[in-house]
Chain A
Amino acid sequence: MDHGADCPVSVAGLHKRFGALEVLKGIDLDVQRGEVVVIMGPSGSGKTTLIRCINFLEEPDAGRVRVCGMEVPCGGKTKTRARARHIREIRTRAAMVFQHFNLFPHMTALGNVIEGPVSVRGMPKAQAEALGERLLARVGLADKRDEYPSRLSGGQKQRVAIARALAMEPEVVLFDEPTSSLDPELHEEVLQTMRELAGEGMTMVVVTHEVGFAQDVADRIVFMAGGVVLEEGPPAEFFANPKHDRARSFLRLVARGSTYADAGANGAARTDALLPADGRQE
């Protein structure tokens, strides 16, 4: 290990608590350039919090987060302007795809994709539109450029969201359960887009319960439970021969055919995932 000096993402000793609940209890994670890391684990294991800490949508309490060589101090009380600027810089390098898409409902598909390039990167509009059209074509939605999100299916929304993330030309894309709020028949189109992205060498950190995707695409599985990384390794090894009891019972649940591995473990979360959380967009 080179201690993350050259890694797009390097996390060490990361701690995060929400009130009395300690969600992350010291996480170390280095992601190499071009690597696809899939984070799995039961509900409440801290997977989502971990990737939200990588781009500071959650403020870590302690530890170190480094993205593309940029490091922002964690846990301090001081919130300087320089720190805020560094965090924004990190966010442009580590793009995020959300479980509930979070497309901007008042902008067209193309408008969503070019928003970052135009208003954050200062790209001229014509150039951004060319980029946006290219990216929409890449996710198979060239013909939807002028549609508003309310007119798109869930799978289409998520693909636009992926195009929006790519428009920042990021070093790494973070996926937070990108298929969990989709109907089962819509998973594949999103996963296919992600497969193609991985095939092009994009560095990806993916929180998902999609075993098939993890087996085919991941270079490494990171299995989390209770706020720690219990085990990690290549998918062939992890799925064939999980070392840890919690990993074995988790995989048994997954093997039962449910893509929501934590469906039984956490009914509330399950219901939540199926509700159209962004109701206004519907």
Chain B
Amino acid sequence: MDLLARAFPLLIDALGMTLFLGITSFLIGSVIGMTVALARLFGGPVLRAIAIGYVSIWRGTPLLIQLLLVYFGLPQFGIILQPVPASIIALSLHAGAYLAENFRAGILSVDKGQWEAAYSLGMPFPRAFRRVAFPQAARVAIPPVGSRFIALMKDTSLASVVTVVELTAVAESIGSSTFRYLEMFAIVAMIYWAINSLLSLGQEVLERRLARAY
């Protein structure tokens, strides 16, 4: 109990940091992912090649290496980033590569006839996408996107490697100073699990709402 009392304030701050890293990276990653998906599906050959290359590299290399490259590698080019921005950049680019594929699959699942119906009403592409294709694509993309959000929440623990004080880092530091590793890691594991249970719940609610018409 003594341990908990000592750890509690630190854990609360760390939880805030974990949530901040996860949510920010998810939002930025979603923007990147949607942009890359659209470039891949509707862009010219150059945009398509860039999109394919981006997904291939950021999905094909370990997140830890990406994080180390951004934090320790970029300074050699004179780009020195603080630990938190560096982590957000690496996590966003990593998640963006996966989300691009989730969004692309969702958009591809929309029947060709839906586009034709939208066009036959005189809609230009952006409106046909927003009004007709996107809502149907979202329904298909939500389960994998939800999984990616959950994976991303867990991936934030790697930020501890570049000295970000988030849940994992706090568990490690309290653990090492008290030798109560078991308790500390068990506690943060429970916290990650709780966060992700809430995310799962949110995903389920969203899925059910979008399925109402079907």
Which residues in A have some Cβ–Cβ distance to B below 8 Å?
A: 55, 57, 84, 88-89, 91-92, 95-96, 98, 100, 102-108, 115-116, 119-120, 148-150, 164, 168, 277-278, 280
Contact = CB atoms under 8 A, between A and B. Distances in A.
A148 B214 contact: yes
Nearest to A167: B121
28 contacts: A57-B116, A57-B119, A57-B120, A88-B124, A89-B122, A91-B119, A91-B122, A92-B121, A95-B120, A98-B117, A102-B114, A105-B213, A105-B214, A106-B139, A107-B213, A108-B213, A115-B131, A116-B122, A119-B123, A120-B123, A148-B213, A148-B214, A150-B214, A164-B121, A168-B121, A277-B111, A277-B113, A278-B111
Contacts of B124: 84, 88
B122 A102 contact: no
B175 interface: no
Contacts, number: 73
Contacts of B212: 148
Contacts of A168: 121-122
Nearest to B136: A106
B135 to A, nearest CB: 5
A84 B114 CA distance: 19
A96 B113 contact: no
How extensive is the interface on chain B, given as a class? Answer: 20 to 34
Chain B CB within 10 Å — which of A88, A106, A120, A148 has the most?
A: A106
B31 interface: no
Interface string B115-141: 011111111100100011001100100
A105 B122 CA distance: 19
A46 B122 CA distance: 24
B127 A102 contact: no
Q: Which 7 A-B pairs have the closest CB atoms?
A: A102-B117, A102-B113, A116-B121, A92-B122, A148-B213, A96-B120, A91-B122
A277 B116 CA distance: 14
Nearest to B121: A116
Contacts of A102: 111, 113-114, 116-117
A89 to B, nearest CB: 7
A104 B114 contact: yes
A278 B120 contact: no
Nearest to B116: A57
B17 to A, nearest CB: 38
B209 to A, nearest CB: 11
A115 B136 CA distance: 15
A40 B27 CA distance: 53
A247 B136 CA distance: 43
